[in-house]
Chains A and B, each alone.
Chain A
Amino acid sequence: MTDATLDSTRPTEHSADDRPRPVPDRPEWSNIHAPDTHVIAIDAGRQRSWLPDRLRRNPSFVAGTVLLLVIIAAAVFAPVLYPGDPLSMVARPLLWPGQDLAYPLGTDSLGRDVAAGLMHGARISLLIGFVATTIGVTVGTVVGAVAGYRGGRIDDFLVRVIELFQTIPSFILLVVLVAIAQPSIATVTWAIGLVTWPTIARLVRAEFRVLREKEFVMAARSLGFSDTRIVVREILPNALPAIIVTTSVMVATAILMEAALSFLGLGDPNVVSWGSMIGSGRELIRTAWYLTALPGLVIVLTVLSLNLIGDGLTDVLNPRLSRER
């Protein structure tokens, strides 16, 4: 009955997309809810405000970014402030923070400067965190996109591969990989990338399976677009928000994994890392607790900053998801 039809009351996505959907108070027959999204679709054509503006107004995103920028600055200025090797002995061992102002955060049992270690450690943590995530996201996106877009046997096969990776506890796999390959920054990075890609692959596959059925993808196919073009130009931009949000959390996971490896002594022995600092301070935890607490605090702050950014991005990029939580 289109014909004497004054309106399209089909609930269309646009209404839910860019404004919070007010939920009416529930009537007391609790099994009924009003599917009335269309009633607020009055200004559907309203323009969305610019993305950077919305990010700037999001407190989580701003706080996380500020915190992360401080840590990045520490990493960048480490060679300037502490030009020497952070692993070399510079002072009397076990100086407490504040005891000697030349070493504001004290020294460890071998007389190494803790402040220098933390700043140089930031370089390693961030480097491994970002590079490993890039590897993981790239592999995961390619695998997920192929599986989700192609479907059928290829999908079945790739899903098996993803599941294979996910059934093995990822940290054990990581330990095994690093143990086989000799610990170095490069191998640790590759190993972390290799154990994290299935997360992204699953997500991208799910997104692609939904988006593949959308009418605009149908339209692209009917116009004779190639598969590559459909995947890259039509589907991927719509899956990007979800990928970006997950990426920020994956960086945090990668940093934690690197710290854990180093803590176990499986990190690169030639560089200082937050994890190895905790590891070596562990035996003195009763007498010099600051040797474990300070690197621990830095790890917490870094992971917190990335999670705050992730939350902010979720709010801004996936408004529906965050509302349904």
Chain B
Amino acid sequence: MAPLLDVRDLTIGFPSATPVRNLSFSLAPAETLAIVGESGSGKSLTALALMRLLPSTARIASGRVRLDDDDLLALPEVEMRRRRGRDIAMIFQEPMTSLNPVLTIGRQIAEVLQVHRGLSKAQARREAAELLDLVRIPNPERCLDDHPHRLSGGMRQRVMIAIAAACRPKILIADEPTTALDVTIQAQVLELLDRLRRELSLSLLLITHDLGLVGQWADRVVVTYAGRKVEEAPPDVLFEHPLHPYTQGLLAASPRLHENLHYRSARLSEIPGNIASAATQAGCPFAPRCPVRLTQCRTNVPYERDAAIGRRVACHVDISESSRGLHHDAAVSY
């Protein structure tokens, strides 16, 4: 199937840093693509760039974001404003601060409907109640007249999702949608997002740092490190046989995936150092922390290449060799 959204060579620069470099990915209709990375990986900036909501000091240095037949980055601001919400919508991490505390929930949803779909006040209110019902908020009619502070974090995130879904967008970007929520609420919110994806047949771009969540909900995963894509694969293959040393290190370091390890008998596998070392690195950003790096990793940036069907990796090290170097189950025995 032809991709719905196609991002090519996206590079985002600040005066002092380049947090996203040559990032390419695509999103098929009704697909869930996850972009995973730790803080400083540029994943949230990528999301904002797609919405053209970057902070004013940031600049898109290069790249193209094709949605249907248009390059979103080249559209005039007026046109882009119409696309936001209608073609592409976004929900944010903090449900506590994303809603205006002085307006009722109903007003905030109705506003979107009135602006974008030109509904009358009464129609908008009716539609708002339906939207709240769609995101499974109990008692939608009563909720309309509530102020945000009366709702729990999970409920607020549902309201945010209702607002994002109000104009039936083709693409929903969810930037860390569950990070601020409790474990049991997280599962509910993700289930909701997945149900919307199916029912409204929208494409979901899930931006997250949580590998477990990606494995459970994504169709395809893009792993980023310091603004570059290091690996792309379907989650089952990625977890079974990670190719990039960074992905291998992450999976090995996760206590969740090593439920037989206990501190009295073993240690978790570590990735030494931290992501700050990538800022001064000329070649591969992961080279300073990489256990299998070659001399060329310090000087040359590895380009993405196909590793198998549906898999891409950006690493100089020969794949078979790298998996010998650091097997993902290699928790240090103690």
Contacts and interface: CB of A to CB of B under 8 A. Distances in A.
A42 interface: yes
B218 to A, nearest CB: 13
Contacts of B211: 4, 6
Q: How large is the interface on B (under 10, 10 to 19, 20 to 34, 35 or more residues)?
A: 35 or more
Interface in A1-51: 1, 3-11, 20-25, 27-36, 38-43, 45
B256 A35 contact: no
A46 to B, nearest CB: 8
B111 A7 contact: no
B186 A1 contact: yes
B97 A24 contact: no
Contact of A4 (B48, B52, B256): B256
A25 B255 CA distance: 40
B158 to A, nearest CB: 15
- Name, among B54, B103, B183, the residue most crowded by chain A CB atoms within 10 Å (CB to CB): B54
Contact of B40 (A4, A7, A36): A7
A43 B107 CA distance: 39
Contacts of A31: 99-100, 103, 107-108, 111
Contacts of A42: 14, 17, 19, 40, 42, 279
- Name, among A3, A7, A10, A43, the residue most crowded by chain B CB atoms within 10 Å (CB to CB): A7
A24 B256 CA distance: 36
Contacts of A36: 44, 48, 55, 92, 175
B55 A40 contact: yes
Q: How large is the interface on A (under 10, 10 to 19, 20 to 34, 35 or more residues)?
A: 20 to 34
B85 A29 contact: yes
B176 A34 contact: no
Nearest to A28: B81
Contacts of A6: 36-39, 41, 209-211, 250
Contacts of A40: 14, 55
Nearest to A15: B39
Nearest to A40: B55
Contacts of A4: 210-213, 254, 256-257
Interface of B: 14, 16-17, 19, 36-42, 44-45, 48, 51-58, 81, 84-85, 90, 92-94, 97-100, 103, 107-108, 111-112, 115, 160, 163, 175-176, 178-179, 183, 186, 209-213, 250, 254-257, 276, 279
Closest 4 pairs between A and B when the two form their complex, measured CB to CB: A22-B55, A7-B39, A6-B209, A6-B38
Interface of A: 1, 3-11, 20-25, 27-36, 38-43, 45
Given A6-B209, A35-B94, A38-B93, 8 more contacts: A22-B58, A30-B111, A34-B98, A35-B92, A36-B44, A38-B44, A42-B42, A43-B279
